[in-house]
Amino acid sequence: MRPARLPAPMVVATGLVSGWGRGLEALPDRAEEAAAGRPVIAIEGPVVVGDRFRRASRECLLAVAAVEETLQSGIPREVLAGNRTALLYATLSAYGASNRAFIEGARATSLHFPYTAPSAVPAEVAIEFGITGPYVIFLGGAPAALSALWYAGTLLAAAACDRALVLAVETFNECADLYARGRWLVGRPLVEAAVAVLLEPGAGVLTYSEARSGRRVRASRSTGRRRLGEAFACGPLVELGLARATGAGPLDLSLTGAWRGTEAVLRWAEARPTWSQKKFSTS
């Protein structure tokens, strides 16, 4: 059986917060040159404030900030609320800091333990925006984000939701010494990022394949990496956002990702450009 050809979802909006700044426009042309030898490009300072977030981990706040950025294009918050919005989250690293703080005792209390779970990040987003629809969390490098995008396509095609918010967060700063020990596994520069892509049903063709090559070549690779740097699951979402932002016509691209011998390809071919006509109403 050949992989099913799903309708390619429409990319409604993208929001990005990264070590380079806010938005896609903050990305340098070449991340490696812009890093000038720095191993980690961290996101500085608080990104979201509020009493509800007083115990939330930094990765949770970045996730909320990325979704807020997505809404900057004029989408009302209410659009996301309810059980017709799916929330699909991908990460490789955004539990490392909270796990480490708990293990080493810096944040080893009952208040902090729930934040050690990878599910804490999308949970804060779901709570903040009232999202109660289909909910899956994928762990891994860039292929995990491609799996999340594909799964969003299946949910939209099956009418299991009306829109899908695909989210990725990667943080490195608190574990920079560990990543330095694991240089053979990860690329440089490691760039902290949180990116959200809002998808709705569209026309065209979406196909997905993933296979293990068995080759012990580069551990991590993804489209989007040239401008963003190494940001694992964030890479393909940024590439999708860049393609949407720079192209006037229908999207026609292959998003690729590799991680520890697994290579994934998501072919995204829109039949017609639909996003610019999108109007939102909360009525």
CB of 54 to another protein, least distance (A): 12
Q: Is 104 in the site for another protein (CB under 8 A)?
A: yes
x/- mask, another protein, residues 242-281, rule CB under 8 A, reads ------------------xxx-x-----------------
State how far the Cα of 11 lies from the Cα of 270, in Å rounded to an integer.
Answer: 10
State how far the Cα of 260 lies from the Cα of 237, in Å rounded to an integer.
Answer: 19
Residue 12's nearest CA partner among 84, 74, 82 is 74
What interhelical angle do 234-246 and 142-157 show, nearest 10? 60
Pick the stretch among 32-40, 97-105, 189-197, 274-282 that binds another protein (CB under 8 A).
97-105
Output the CA torsion sign for 131, 152, 144, 192.
negative
What is the β-pairing status of strands 262-270 and 252-259?
Answer: antiparallel
Beta-carbon contacts of 100 under 8 Å, excluding residues fewer than 6 positions away, are 106, 174, 175, 178
Which of 17, 35, 67, 144 forms a contact with another protein (CB under 8 A)?
144
x/- mask, another protein, residues 209-248, rule CB under 8 A, reads xxxx-x----------------------------------
DSSP characters over 18-54: ETTEESGGG--S-HHHHHTT-SEEPPPS-S---GGGT
**Residues 4-23 contacting another protein, CB under 8 A:** 4, 6
Q: Do residues 232 and 141 touch, judged by C-beta distance below 8 A? A: yes
Q: Do residues 246 and 213 touch, judged by C-beta distance below 8 A? A: no
Give strand ranges (E) for 19-162.
21-22, 40-41, 85-91, 135-139
Pick the stretch among 8-16, 21-29, 204-212, 269-277 that binds another protein (CB under 8 A).
204-212
x/- mask, another protein, residues 159-198, rule CB under 8 A, reads -x-----------------x--xx-xx-------------
In the bound state with another protein, the residue whose beta carbon lies nearer, of 134 and 229, is 134
**Residues 57-96 contacting another protein, CB under 8 A:** 83, 87, 92, 95-96
Beta bridge partners of residue 197, listed in sequence order: 14, 166
Which of 30, 46, 72, 132 forms a contact with another protein (CB under 8 A)?
132
Pick the stretch among 27-35, 36-44, 121-129, 275-283 that binds another protein (CB under 8 A).
121-129
List residues binding another protein (CB under 8 A): 1-4, 6, 83, 87, 92, 95-96, 99-100, 102-104, 108-110, 113-120, 122-124, 126-127, 129-140, 143-144, 147, 150-151, 154, 160, 178, 181-182, 184-185, 208-212, 214, 260-262, 264
